[in-house]
Amino acid sequence: QVQLVESGGGLVQPGGSLRLSCAASGSIFSINVMGWYRQAPGKQRELVARISSGGTTTYADSVKGRFTISRDNAKNTVYLQMNNLKPEDTAVYYCNLNQYTSVDYWGQGTQVTVSS
């Protein structure tokens, strides 16, 4: 019923930039929250950033000042601009959608690798 498709991951050197995109399709309510989570091997999934349909944002302390989350409500798409990437940013990044219900929808994951 709801599908999230991610793109934009890749391999970059420290200090580089990437932009992730996530497009949602299906039965999308106008009021919702979309966000990005990441998970590295052996570590727990953690919130990177999220943004409500009203534009309210939340960032993990580790990415503040480097990452920017944005969205296009007309396209049901959320973006994550990642600048000044660090090796510790290496992880699989997952797009998330919650519509203020108990159900979370997830993208397929996209690999971000930061290495020299």
Q: What is the number of residues in the chain?
A: 116
Task: Work out the average pLDDT over 22-49.
Answer: 96
- Any alpha helices (H) in 1-107, and if so which ranges? none
Each residue's pLDDT tens digit, 48-100: 999 999 999 999 999 999 999 999 999 999 999 999 999 999 999 999 999 99
pLDDT at 1 over 90: no
Per cent of the chain over pLDDT 90 is 98
Whether the Cβ atoms of residue 15 and residue 85 lie closer than 8 Å to each other: yes
Q: Is 6 exposed, middle or buried (0-12, 13-18, 19+ CB in 10 A)?
A: buried
According to DSSP, the β-strands at 77-82 and 67-72 are: antiparallel
